[in-house]
Structure 1
Amino acid sequence: MRVLGVAIRAEPRVFALSVIASGVYAAMTVGTAQVLGWATEEVMLPAFRSGDTTAGALAAAAVAIMAVALFKALGVAGRRFFAGLMQYRMQARYRRAVTRQYLRLPLAWHHRHPTGQLLSNANADVEAAWAPIAPLPMAVGVVFMLVIAAVSIVLTDVTVAIVGFLVFPAIALLNVLYQRRLAPVATRAQQLRAEVSEVAHESFEGGLVVKTLGRERSETERFAAAADALRDANIAVGRVRGLFDPVLEALPNLGVLAVLLVGSARLDAGAMTAGDLVHVAYLFTLLAWPIRALGWVLAEVPRSVVGWRRVRGVLDAGGSLPYGEDGLDGGGGKAAALEVREVRFAYETAGERGEDLQEGGHGEDGGDREGADGGRAPAPTVLHDVSFATEPGRTVAVVGPTGSGKSTLTSLLVRLVDPADGSVLLDGVDARDVRRGGIAATAALVPQQTFLFDDDVRGNVTLGLDVPDERVWEALRLAQADGFVAALPGGLDTRVGERGATLSGGQRQRLALARALVRRPRLLVLDDATSSVDPQVEARILQGIRDAQESGEGGATVVVVAYRKATIALADEVVYMEHGRVIDRGSHAELLDRSEGYRNLVNAYERAEAEQEALDAEAEAQAQAGGAGAGTDERPGGEEGEEVEALR
């Protein structure tokens, strides 16, 4: 009732109109019985007795029946229209509410919840929550109809009314039993819908891994197991409903039979007329079908309650990032001053997959931190008292082995998450004190994993930003992407396919970089964002950003997570990290001279790059020999970089 109350309060006028239309239908249903009883007593029986009737009597009966039928049809049409309007409005309203909440919630919350579950919350759960809205007005009309019918039957014959009314306690008892049987299996089915969506989404997301490692059969079996479990749960729901529906339909018919038996005896005794019996019996016959509307509402209630709870779980979720009132100069201004002050960060943990899923890391710092028993595990600290500062317009390279906290640091710099202790300051302003949208207008992150939408090049670069094509081409030039974009059949209007499937890994990375540069950020954070680009092209990109800063055309403070020695050497300063701590800072040459760990790491990367370049050269030679030449600035294998990652 609380769930239905939410809908009624949200759409009071539409609900009122649907109930009024349902009330008209209910009144005309009872009116049909009244008209038929009158026609039987005043037109049909006299005609049988005399063997003749008049045109006026037939016309009066026909007009009465047609008038009732017309108003009944209008009631049906109005009820269905307004009930459907109310249902779809509620579904649309809560889909938007869930989506807005997804956008408000911080990345840390999303880490704990599988994407498949979030899709299920926004679609299947919202639909289930408001499924009872469509039959609700009719059910309300049925209640109105039952009141009218009860009064009419009692006024006609009390004895027959008592016999007929025995069916209603039986229906009430049946509904109570039905709810108790259906609620747990409906809950299970709704949960399994989310799990099937989750498995499917993971398989599609990991399509490249599935194909390259030959895991099609295992993924098919995994999905089949989830789908079979959902099938079994839905069959269990169907079994319960299959038992309930026939009995619910039979009870009113049994009531009609009882009324006919008792009414016939009363007719023989002269206690009631034939017209009264037809009136009462037909009224019970009409009530048999509308009573099912109550069953339809009750049948949807368990799924509705489950869906509502899951939707409310999203809408009531906490952890949204608070914002202040301080402003920052937007993009296009001078580069920002950056300071990281004694930052400590630990990923949250969770105890239950789905609702409180263990929060895993992302990028290089990821991993499953859930305890072996699925319970709440101690939260590992990823960053420990990290501090450094840089002047506007400088380039800082963050270097460290896998798991040292570099990707987590990049998320903190653009405030995807907040530190547990310490602060990140832009132009001396704590990021937590900046008003909503201020960080996004000032800083841009190009992450490790490149994502392109199934849109044209222009749409993927601007993402809805209203900028002229000249500015788009400027960003493409800085990202060293103007050459291949100009060579595409439609230029900026060329569609890149789902996730940029028609482009190479390096091309996708450069479009993602152009997406950040077109906003002219004052702080540009690159999380190993050029790993699939040739080193010479990468050097031109970083040099282009530096030249833009020096020429006054708009520049940025650049923080780059780097592995290549050539990239690191371009930085003004290097921050070397191990195990979430800043071990040393200085120029590349200074760290090579005084830090053994840094020297060993960078040299290991350089050896890995040399071996990878040799493999690339061999693959390119083979491709050219086969007449299928690849671009000279791309890595075969695209953005994955499996060999380099393995060597790292």
Structure 2
Amino acid sequence: MLGRAIREQPRIFAVAVTGSVLFSLMVVASAFVVGRVVGEVVVPAVASGSVGTGALTLAATALFGISVLRVVGIFGRRLGAGYMQYRLQADYRRRVTRRYLELPLSWHHRHATGTLLSNANSDVEAAWHPVAPLPFAVGTLVMLVGAVAALFVTDWALALVGLAVFPALFALNVAYSRRMAPRQARAQRLRAEVSGIAHESFDGALVIKTMGREAQETIRFGERAGQLRDALISVGRLRGIFDPMLETLPSLGTLAVLVVGAYRLRQGAIDVAELVSVAFLFTVLAFPVRAIGWVLAELPRSVAGWDRIRRVLDATGEMPYGDTRLDAASSAPATLTFTDVGFTYEPAEAHLPGAQVLGEVSFTVPAGRTVALVGATGAGKSTVAALAVRLMDPHSGTVRIDGVDVRELAADSLAATAALVAQVPFIFDDTVRANVSLDRPGVDDEAVWAALRLAEADGFVAALPDGLDTMVGERGTSLSGGQRQRLTLARALAGRPRLLVLDDATSAVDPRVEAAILAGLRATETGGPGASILVVAYRRATIALADEVIYLEQGRVVARGTHSTLLATVPGYADLVTAYEQAEVDPDRQPTYDEVTPLTSSTLEVDQ
């Protein structure tokens, strides 16, 4: 870890270490300057009762000069170490985030959002935390070598005292680090779990309140928070044992120097100046030596954080894009083709079997046509929608847009051609304008208003206090469900896609408004051809607007045709559509599980 940090930021590390070494050498030098001042200025002044101005001036100048150099060293060390630490943290947060964007949805499905937030935040912070005291520790090692050399030059007996104290400090730090490592690793893991539970509670606040699960969620969070508290207390207790010992050893060394030094002084082996220098040296060494302990103490937490980051950086399964580009100048609707597509969700744990969602799905959305995808819960409709815009890759078969395999398309070409409006709308804590435009080139206010009109959202946006500049709050809390859906639809339309995939994207919108939206999508305001549309639908009125309906059961296409044809010839389709229609007419009546989901073992596995 430390080697990686140095290799990635060599110049900044060199500045920090230079400052630290300068400080350390001045610490050793200050001890001998103080000794000389005491021996040659203070002691004679006490003996004679007077002191020369020249001697005082020289002593003051020497002490002031060393102090200035120490300040310069501290400035260089702290500025370099801090800059190096925060630069590494910022760099690795970007690396982790970029890796998240490269990994497929199947990987994200196996990892809680709170854990991913912890990886990018507290784990990165922990991984590079030892970088701050590292230059100080390197300088301290130089200082210790210089101090031991100075001790041998002064007196061999005092040097032996130093050789006894310094290895003891290292041994104590190593023992401390070994015992701290498992405690820090457990605390770091619990931080991620607490973050994960908290994020789940925030995201699911509406569900939790609706189901009356506040008490259970509070208990669940409290239990894990209590475990984290206990883990941190365990860390604190260990520090409480070792910190006094680390503080005491240099003081014991100073006491030993005074005892041995007084004996050597009586023997005439050393003078007062040398004794004061050595004693002062042990006194000023107490704080810098702690820097080594700081590095060793943070290493267990650092390694734990790095292991969690590396699991993200080393994760496999990214979806490389090709180089093929569709005609960027074309505004004609695109053709979407599924050929024998199969998909299986990977399990959260490797030893568990995956859940097959799609099997040999084949259909076509012709250019300029609207196709409705209908099926019971767990039939694979949302998976089809995700595959259509290549949020995931099929495990078998191919998905083509205008005859080109989506895996061969360049990323920007695919994004410019196809757009997905997801089942759950996501609104950023920003203005209406920013939510629709996403700072895309060419999407000016005129394009934003055109998209809002097409999504039947211009009316409520115009009525907002600040229009396009209105802040909509975290996840659009100031908007209704239907308004959020229309805003996310406008976001997709602002890019003028040639293929539009709607995954139940208008479920919270009034049926009359939904009909107006779908009618508007067929032919745009400019009179040009509308986009091809694949819509996951439940409402009979929505399904009836489609040119063709594809009926899915247990991940397979079992029927296709017009709405009226399927209603008359496919009992399962008729029962499903009727059940949803009755639920809309009578909101108090809940459809039975039999009405919306065939009771088969495979369907139950998908639902689970």
TM-score range, shorter chain: over 0.9
Q: The residue matched to 1:13 in structure 2 has which SS?
A: helix
**Structure 1 position 36, deviation (Å):** 1.2
Q: How far 1:255 sits from its partner (Å)?
A: 1.1
Inter-CA distance 217–332: structure 2 relative to 1 (3 Å threshold): farther
Shift of 1:234: 0.5
Counterpart AA for 1:186: Q
How far 1:269 moved relative to its partner? 0.9
TM-score by length of 1: 0.89
Match of 2:122 among 107, 121, 124: 124
Q: Aligned match of 1:310 in 308, 311, 322?
A: 308
Partners of 2:76 and 2:139 lie apart in 1 by 12
Counterpart in the other structure of 2:447: 471
Q: Residue 393 of structure 1 contacts residue 556 of structure 1 at CA under 8 Å; is this kept in 2? A: yes
Q: Which amino acid aligns with 2:262?
A: S
Aligned twin of 1:573: 548
Provide the C-alpha distance between the structure 2 equivalents of 1:77 and 1:644, rounded to a whole number of angstroms: 71
Alignment of 1:238-387 (within 5 A): 238-330=236-328, 333-351=331-349, 376-387=351-362
* Match of residue 619 from structure 1: none
1:209 alignment partner in structure 2: 207
Which residue of structure 2 lines up, in the alignment, with residue 593 of structure 1? 568
Q: 1:459 to 1:32 in 2, by over 3 A?
A: same
Instruction: Quote the Cα distance in structure 1 between the aligned partners of 2:592 and 2:489.
Output: 21
1:427 to 396, 402, 408: 402
Determine the structure 2 residue equivalent to 1:532. 508
- Tell me if the contact between 2:523 and 2:529 (Cα under 8 Å) persists in the aligned partners: no
Name the CA distance, whole Å, in 2 between partners of 1:47 and 1:115. 72
Match of 1:167 in 2: 165
1:523 aligns with 2:523: no
Contact 2:130–2:295 (8 Å) recurs in 1: yes
1:505 is aligned, of 469, 478, 481, to 481
Q: Residue 451 in 1 paired to residue 426 in 2?
A: yes
Q: CA deviation at 1:49?
A: 2.8
Distance 1:222 1:160, change over 3 A: same
Amino acid at match of 2:415: A
Q: Is the 8 A contact 1:135 1:296 kept in 2?
A: yes
Rounded to whole Å, the distance in 2 between the matches of 1:83 and 1:447 is 45
Counterparts of 2:233 and 2:330, CA distance in 1: 60
| Distance in 1 of aligned mates of 2:87 and 2:568 | 67
The separation in 1 between residues aligned to 2:483 and 2:57, in whole angstroms, is 81
Shift of 1:40: 2.0
The answer to whether residue 387 in structure 2 is matched with residue 389 in structure 1 is no
Contact 2:579 2:591 in 1 (8 A): no
**Which residue, out of 586, 592, 599, partners 1:611?**
586
3-state SS of the aligned residue for 1:289? helix
**Would you say 1:85 and 2:83 are equivalent positions?**
yes
Instruction: Select 2:416's aligned residue among 441, 444, 463.
Output: 441
Kindly state the Cα deviation for residue 581 of structure 1 after the two structures are TM-superposed: 0.4
After the TM superposition, which residues 209-228 of structure 1 pair with which residues of structure 2 at under 5 Å, given as runs? 209-228=207-226
Return the alpha-carbon distance in structure 1 between the equivalents of residues 240 and 413 of structure 2: 57
Aligned to 1:346, what secondary structure does the other structure show? strand
The Cα RMSD (Å) is: 1.7
Q: Please, which moves more after superposition, 200-209 or 454-463?
A: 454-463
Query: For the residues of structure 1 that align with 2:296 and 2:375, how far apart are their CA atoms?
Result: 60
Contact 2:335 2:365 in 1 (8 A): yes
Q: Percent identity?
A: 58
Q: Do the aligned partners of residues 331 and 545 (structure 1) sit closer, same or farther apart at CA in structure 2, a change above 3 Å counting? A: farther
What's the CA shift for 1:494?
Answer: 1.7
Q: Distance in 2 between matches of 1:9 and 1:254?
A: 38
Q: Is it true that 1:38 corresponds to 2:36 in the alignment? A: yes
Name the counterpart of 1:355. Answer: none
SS of equivalent to 1:419: coil
Shift of 1:176: 2.2
Contact 1:331 1:522 (C-alpha < 8 Å) held by counterparts: no
Maintained 8 Å contact 2:127/2:301: yes
Out of 522-531 and 161-170, give the one that drifted further: 161-170
For normalisation by structure 2, the TM-score amounts to 0.95
**C-alpha displacement at 1:575, in angstroms?**
0.6
Name the aligned partner's letter for residue 590 of structure 1: T
Quote the Cα distance in structure 2 between the aligned partners of 1:51 and 1:479: 96
**Structure 2 letter corresponding to 1:468:** D
Match of 2:509, SS state, is coil
Aligned ranges for residues 394-409 of structure 1 at < 5 Å? 394-409=369-384
1:544 alignment partner, one of 520, 529, 535: 520
Decide whether aligned partners of structure 1 residues 516 and 393 sit closer, same or farther in structure 2, where only a CA change above 3 A counts. same
2:74 aligns with one of 76, 93, 100: 76
Distance 2:376 2:86 in 1: 52
Query: Which residue of 2 is the match for residue 639 of structure 1?
Result: none
What is the SS of the residue equivalent to 1:387?
A: strand
Q: Which residue of 2 aligns with 1:485?
A: 461
Answer yes or no: is the 8 Å Cα contact 1:139–1:293 preserved in 2.
Answer: yes
Q: Partner amino acid for 1:529? A: A
- Displacement of 1:547 after TM fit? 2.3
- Residues in 2 aligned to 1:202 and 1:145: alpha-carbon distance in whole angstroms: 51
Match of 2:537 among 552, 556, 562: 562
1:359 corresponding residue in structure 2: none
Q: 1-side partners of 2:125 and 2:334: how far apart?
A: 46
Tell me the equivalent position of 2:55. 57
Query: Using the alignment, how far apart are the partners of 2:250 and 2:473 within structure 1?
Result: 58
CA distance in 2, matches of 1:31, 1:278: 13
Alignment of 1:553 with 2:541, yes or no, is: no
Structure 2 gap ranges (5+): 597-608
1:96 aligned to which of 91, 94, 97: 94
* 1:610-636 CA distance string (max 9 Å, x none): 213xx7xxxxxxxxxxxxxxxxxxxxx
Instruction: Quote how far apart the aligned CAs of 1:217 are.
Output: 2.1
Structure 1 residues 613-632: aligned runs within 5 Å: none
Task: Answer yes or no: is the 8 Å Cα contact 2:337–2:399 preserved in 1.
Answer: yes
Aligned-partner SS, 2:373? strand
Q: Which moved more, 1:138-147 or 1:325-334?
A: 325-334
Q: For residue 284 of structure 1, give the secondary structure of its aligned residue in structure 2.
A: helix
Shift of 1:468: 2.0
Q: Secondary structure at the match of 2:543?
A: helix
User: Structure 2 vs 1, CA of residues 331 and 166 (structure 1 numbering), >3 Å: closer, same or farther?
Assistant: farther
**Pick from 415, 418, 438: which aligns with 2:390?**
415
1:547-602 per-position Cα deviation (integer Å, ceiling 9, x unaligned): 229x6535211000111111111111111110000001111122122212112222
Whole-angstrom distance in 2 between the partners of 1:148 and 1:402: 74
1:158 aligns with 2:156: yes
* Equivalent AA in structure 2 for residue 85 of structure 1: Y
Q: Distance in 2 between matches of 1:596 and 1:309?
A: 54
- CA–CA distance in 1 between the matches of 2:561 and 2:387? 22
Contact 2:20-2:136 within 8 A present in 1 as well: yes
